[in-house]
């Protein structure tokens, strides 16, 4: 692909991602297919797009030192500068002079002489003088927010809950790449066989300590392996695998997954049930039900019945005491998965967290009667925020006194993980900086036998 076309595609992608927040991975996939981007350019395109988004606030801080803030700048020009600065400062794949040359070329073709001299001026200035130091920023919170490109409200919030050091580690971890992990389909292949086969294909792999089905891929693109393409394994973050493990599903059980799409955890549960029993899986969005069916069929699992439903109303669909296990993997702010989807950190507001907590509690309250006595209910989110995690569990327990936290949950956590977890009386918080996983919260509740 011609360099100009590739860089121009990246600018268009970045502009669209900024408008259609939350769908970066879909937009990138679409653009790669539409433009027949070669595998070599695909890696560079993905790296520049995610990197530029991930470092947006830092890049704007640098850029603002070199431009007249009063002058209005067209969005594509700002994007061109951002992505060029990202490459100059954070990547060493292309020499600075080539980055500047390409940027000026794009500015000439897309704009006019005035724009190309502005772009040339800013980038040459950075090349000659470097970028301004963030040590000039007096306020600790603001400095951390700018250095790690997180919104100030979020940094303040995390410091308030977790302290400065943990917040700093978390924000820094959100800038780093994390290894992909996969889960084997154990009814089709063992972990040992899968690891040997992947090594033969040139992958570098390690077993996960979170699940006996988990493998960490340190090197290689798993999508290209036949093991992935033919459903011998599926991509899943290690932290999510803990849910399937800790729910303790057994063959023959009847299980409810209230918020199921795209089907990562429900297929894990079906595998652990050896594809024997019944799973009712729901999601609010009809379109997403197809994703659950697709994943189940790829993995050759047949016990999942997926249907659209609002989980807040499931008490109207099922009779009380129906299920042996219930999973509520709730819709959440996703602040634990910033590393993989960096646009999340700019698209959320503090008020969203409060709204989500209301929905999460409503879902839990709706499914609570549906669990059999002595059954187990898992509540999980891929976020790092007490309002959506511990506080929701606390309120739920207050409103449903038949439920208690299963204290055995804490005993089951592998010893090597315990020290780095945020353990409270309401559940377990995984931080993204601790184990190369997403940030994740989970807890297991038991419904006690009613005294009456
Ligand atoms: C964290 S995701 C679930 C991920 C899934 N458990 C997995 O492992 O692949 C939360 C899901 O909840 C769905 N959702 C949002 N509001 C809902 C509601 N009121 N009832 C049911 N599902 C809902 C979203 O569409 C989303 O697919």
- Based on the fold, state whether residues 36 and 66 are members of the same structural domain: yes
State residue 7 phi and psi, 5-degree precision.
-65, -40
Q: How far is it, in rounded angstroms, from Cα 283 to Cα 307?
A: 7
Q: With contact defined as beta carbons under 8 Å apart, do 220 and 203 qualify? A: yes
pLDDT in tens, 282-333: 999 999 999 999 999 999 999 999 999 999 999 999 999 999 999 999 999 9
Instruction: Classify residue 316 as exposed, middle or buried by CB count within 10 Å of its CB (0-12, 13-18, 19+).
Output: exposed
The verdict on residue 62 lying in a domain is: yes
- The mean of the pLDDT values for the chain is 93
Q: What is the pLDDT of residue 354?
A: 97
The verdict on residue 367 lying in a domain is: yes
Centroid of ligand 1 to alpha carbon of 367 (angstroms)? 14
Q: Which atom of ligand 1 approaches the CA of 362 most closely?
A: 19
- Based on the fold, state whether residues 153 and 292 are members of the same structural domain: no
pLDDT in tens, 33-67: 888 888 778 888 989 999 999 999 999 999 999 98
The model's pTM is 0.93
Beta bridge partners of 326: 256, 377
Residue 264 is labelled as binding a ligand: yes
Nearest to 428 by CA among 446, 436, 417: 417
**Residue 33 maps to which CATH number?**
1.10.940.10
Centroid of ligand 1 to alpha carbon of 331 (angstroms)? 5
Token pair in block for residue 384: 């790092």
Pairing of strands 278-283, 254-257: parallel
- Based on the fold, state whether residues 52 and 194 are members of the same structural domain: no
The verdict on residue 452 lying in a domain is: no
Residue 439 is labelled as binding a ligand: no
Q: What is the pLDDT of residue 70?
A: 72
Q: How far is it, in rounded angstroms, from Cα 86 to Cα 450?
A: 60
- Based on the fold, state whether residues 195 and 312 are members of the same structural domain: no
- Based on the fold, state whether residues 119 and 263 are members of the same structural domain: no
* Pocket test residue of 263, 284, 364 for ligand 1, highest count of atoms within 8 A of CB: 284
Q: Is the pLDDT of residue 143 over 90?
A: yes
The verdict on residue 270 lying in a domain is: yes
Q: What is the pLDDT of residue 399?
A: 98
**Residue 223 maps to which CATH number?**
3.30.70.1170
Pairing of strands 440-447, 254-257: unpaired
Q: With contact defined as beta carbons under 8 Å apart, do 214 and 175 qualify? A: no
The finding on whether 268 has its CB within 6 A of some atom of ligand 1 is no
Q: What is the pLDDT of residue 22?
A: 55
Instruction: Classify residue 315 as exposed, middle or buried by CB count within 10 Å of its CB (0-12, 13-18, 19+).
Output: middle
Q: How far is it, in rounded angstroms, from Cα 376 to Cα 249?
A: 9
Q: What is the pLDDT of residue 282?
A: 98
- Based on the fold, state whether residues 96 and 224 are members of the same structural domain: no
- Based on the fold, state whether residues 119 and 140 are members of the same structural domain: no
Q: How many domains does the chain have?
A: 4
Report which DSSP code applies to 136: G
- Based on the fold, state whether residues 60 and 161 are members of the same structural domain: no
Residue 111 is labelled as binding a ligand: no
- The alpha carbon of 192 is separated from its chain's Cα centroid by a whole number of angstroms, namely 27
Angle between helices 24-34 and 39-54 (to 10 degrees): 150
The verdict on residue 152 lying in a domain is: yes
The verdict on residue 224 lying in a domain is: yes
Beta bridge partners of 376: 325, 446
**Residue 416 maps to which CATH number?**
3.40.50.150
Q: How far is it, in rounded angstroms, from Cα 201 to Cα 203?
A: 6
- State which of 11-25, 101-115, 255-269, 405-419 shows the largest mean pLDDT: 255-269
Whether ipTM exceeds 0.95: yes
- Based on the fold, state whether residues 243 and 293 are members of the same structural domain: yes
- The alpha carbon of 308 is separated from its chain's Cα centroid by a whole number of angstroms, namely 23
The finding on whether 262 has its CB within 6 A of some atom of ligand 1 is yes
State residue 378 phi and psi, 5-degree precision.
-100, 135
Beta bridge partners of 407: none
Centroid of ligand 1 to alpha carbon of 267 (angstroms)? 14
Judged by phi (left if over 0) then psi (alpha if -120 to 50, else beta), residue 341 lies in beta
- Based on the fold, state whether residues 246 and 224 are members of the same structural domain: no
Pairing of strands 233-235, 403-405: unpaired
- Based on the fold, state whether residues 296 and 402 are members of the same structural domain: yes
Catalytic positions: 382
Q: What is the pLDDT of residue 1?
A: 60
Full residue range of the structural domain in which residue 195 is found? 180-235
- Based on the fold, state whether residues 249 and 228 are members of the same structural domain: no
Q: Is the pLDDT of residue 372 over 60?
A: yes
Q: Is the pLDDT of residue 20 over 80?
A: no
């Amino acid at each position: 692909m011609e360099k100009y076309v590739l860089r121009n595609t990246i600018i268009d992608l970045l502009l669209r991602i900024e408008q259609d927040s939350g769908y970066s991975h879909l937009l990138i996939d679409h653009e790669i297919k539409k433009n027949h981007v070669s595998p070599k350019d695909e890696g560079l395109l993905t790296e520049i797009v995610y990197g530029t988004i991930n470092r947006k606030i830092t890049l704007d801080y640098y850029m603002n030192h070199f431009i007249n803030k009063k002058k209005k700048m067209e969005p594509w020009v700002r994007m061109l500068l951002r992505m060029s600065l990202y490459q100059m400062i954070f990547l060493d794949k292309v020499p600075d002079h080539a980055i500047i040359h390409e940027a000026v070329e794009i500015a000439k073709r897309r704009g006019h002489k005035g724009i190309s001299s502005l772009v040339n001026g800013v980038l040459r200035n950075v090349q000659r003088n470097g970028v301004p130091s963030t040590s000039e920023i007096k306020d600790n919170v603001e400095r951390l927010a700018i250095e790690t490109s997180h919104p100030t409200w979020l940094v303040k919030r995390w410091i308030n809950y977790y302290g400065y050091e943990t917040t700093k580690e978390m924000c820094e971890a959100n800038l780093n790449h994390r290894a992909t992990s996969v889960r084997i389909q154990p009814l089709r292949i063992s972990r040992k066989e899968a690891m040997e086969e992947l090594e033969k294909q040139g992958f570098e792999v390690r077993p996960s300590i979170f699940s006996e089905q988990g493998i960490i891929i340190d090197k290689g693109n798993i999508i290209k392996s036949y093991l992935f393409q033919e459903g011998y394994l599926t991509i899943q973050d290690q932290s999510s695998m803990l849910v399937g493990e800790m729910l303790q599903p057994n063959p023959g059980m009847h299980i409810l997954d209230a918020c199921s799409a795209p089907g990562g955890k429900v297929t894990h549960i079906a595998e652990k049930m050896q594809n024997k029993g019944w799973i009712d899986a729901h999601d609010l969005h009809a379109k997403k039900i197809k994703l659950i069916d697709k994943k189940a069929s790829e993995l050759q699992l047949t016990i999942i019945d997926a249907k659209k439903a609002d989980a807040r109303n499931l008490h109207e669909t099922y009779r009380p005491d129906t299920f042996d296990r219930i999973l509520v993997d709730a819709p959440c702010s996703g602040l634990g998965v910033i590393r993989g989807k960096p646009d999340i950190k700019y698209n959320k507001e503090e008020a969203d967290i409060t709204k989500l907590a209301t929905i999460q509690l409503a879902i839990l309250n709706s499914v609570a009667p549906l669990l059999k006595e002595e059954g187990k209910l898992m509540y999980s989110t891929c976020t790092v925020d007490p309002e959506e995690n511990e506080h929701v569990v606390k309120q739920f327990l207050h409103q449903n006194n038949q439920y208690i936290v299963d204290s055995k949950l804490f005993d089951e956590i592998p010893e090597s993980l315990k020290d780095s977890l945020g353990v409270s009386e309401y559940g377990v918080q995984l931080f993204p900086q601790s184990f190369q996983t997403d940030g994740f919260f989970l807890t297991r509740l038991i419904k006690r036998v009613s005294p009456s």
